[in-house]
Amino acid sequence: MKYPPTLRQWFDDMQSAIATQTFVKMAFTKPTDRAGDLKTIDIRLITVKRELKLSFTYHHKTKDIVKNYTPEESLPILAKLMADTFTSAKLFTLKNDILLLKQGKNLEITYHGATQTTVPDTSHDRAKNRILEVGQGADAKPYLHLLGLTDAKGEVLKSAQDKFRQINKYIEVLDSLIKQLPETSTPIRVTDMGSGKGYLTFALYDHLTNTLKRPTEVVGIEYRQDMVDLCNAIAKKSNFTNLKFTQGTIADTSLNTQHSTLNTEIVIALHACDTATDDAIAKAIKANAALIVTAPCCHKQVRRGMKAPGTHPLNFMLKFGTYEEKMAEMVTDALRAQYLELAGYTTNLFEFIGAEHTPKNVMITAVRNTTPLSANARQHIEKTITEAKAHFGLKSHQLGTLLGL
């Protein structure tokens, strides 16, 4: 088949990289209107029965589809993707990153410095990058099936791919943080405030108990009694003896007395609406929790209170509701991180999973420091908070109010 010169050059670069063992991967991005729910395509080199093939992973909105082709079989498929479905593709090699862009009806190719330094393993049967294993057959984990994430054989349902990916990323983040905590002979006590259906609560209990082999007590706090009953039934069927769910609100929860006499070491509050996140953080700080993890949801209090003066340099942005909302989110969560720093925690604020998987993707983590905050550091944080509130015309921030600051 005859291809346009630019596309032919890109194919030659790809085939040369495969032949010289410098091929790393390919990626198609920026879908056209014809792509439907197809978002991106990742392509890697694999070995199937001693034959090299290109493995295409088609990332749709609710599922991933994998198809394998020989390099020669791939050429017309790649050509059609650039003709109809995508406007950008990149070939990664050890020598160059080679970008192919569609500009109108024309294709342009540009060469950039290599961003990849190693060639991935081409083994077709390499283990999937999952920290949470589902198990198969008799080893399948019952709670994943009972929660509607897997079928009876342990395969993740197509409709649950995004949720399962979110859970895995959550456990990956928690794993690195938990390993920073000192080893103790007493159980780790976890309180999940606003546990909902318990997807992440179950996964964390499983990871702590069965993967990390850490003695653990986990309690999920949930306002809806039907969810509490459902989760307790699933925990019982899964033989998760130290996982309990109880009916209540974040505001009414006492961390030092709930469920056992142990003090809470880890407090989690995922997607607690508006100032409920502040309630959870304040209670965790007062309980001297070793680790606090939140994924905030809604930021109404700060948005209602933002009253920038007429000369404010961001007024040209804040007059638009969408940007005002985004700014309120950033101000709210950044101030939460500052209050946590002031309380003696090392904090981080980041997107823990891509927005294509969940719009509620910002996470705040706080690990309790082993040494007290210095007077200079405290003064600096207090000054930052005061100036930030004044900058945005805020009279108060709920977390600061709850902490008496």
The single-letter code of the amino acid at 364 is: I
Contact criterion met (CB below 8 Å) for 258 and 191: yes
Q: Are residues 257 and 150 in the same domain?
A: yes
What CATH number is associated with residue 285?
A: 3.40.50.150
Q: Are residues 250 and 334 in the same domain?
A: yes
3-state secondary structure at position 124:
coil
Q: Are residues 152 and 265 in the same domain?
A: yes
Q: Please tell me the distance from the alpha carbon of residue 74 to that of residue 59, in angstroms, as a whole number.
A: 17
Strands 188-193 and 216-222: parallel
DSSP 44-73: EEEEETTEEEEEEEEEESS-EEEEEE-HHH
Residue 69 neighbours by CB distance under 10 Å: 16
Q: Are residues 261 and 370 in the same domain?
A: yes
Q: Are residues 146 and 100 in the same domain?
A: no
Q: Are residues 235 and 330 in the same domain?
A: yes
Predicted pLDDT at 154: 83
Q: Are residues 262 and 393 in the same domain?
A: yes
Strands 96-103 and 362-368: unpaired
Q: Which parts of the chain register pLDDT below 50?
A: 125-128, 257-262, 355-359
Task: Examine residue 323 and state whether it is found in any structural domain, yes or no.
Answer: yes
Task: Examine residue 127 and state whether it is found in any structural domain, yes or no.
Answer: no
Q: Are residues 176 and 35 in the same domain?
A: no
Task: Examine residue 123 and state whether it is found in any structural domain, yes or no.
Answer: no
Specify which residues 182 forms β-bridges with.
none
Task: Examine residue 119 and state whether it is found in any structural domain, yes or no.
Answer: no
Predicted pLDDT at 360: 56
Q: Are residues 81 and 144 in the same domain?
A: no
Q: Are residues 152 and 45 in the same domain?
A: no
Predicted pLDDT at 227: 96
Task: Examine residue 128 and state whether it is found in any structural domain, yes or no.
Answer: no
What is the reported pTM? 0.66
Task: Examine residue 158 and state whether it is found in any structural domain, yes or no.
Answer: yes
Predicted pLDDT at 260: 45
Q: Are residues 58 and 167 in the same domain?
A: no
**Residue indicated by tokens 């406007």:** 87
Q: Are residues 64 and 208 in the same domain?
A: no
Task: Examine residue 305 and state whether it is found in any structural domain, yes or no.
Answer: yes
Contact criterion met (CB below 8 Å) for 262 and 187: yes
The tally of domains found in the chain comes to 2
- Domain containing 88 equals 5-113
Predicted pLDDT at 247: 95
Task: Examine residue 329 and state whether it is found in any structural domain, yes or no.
Answer: yes
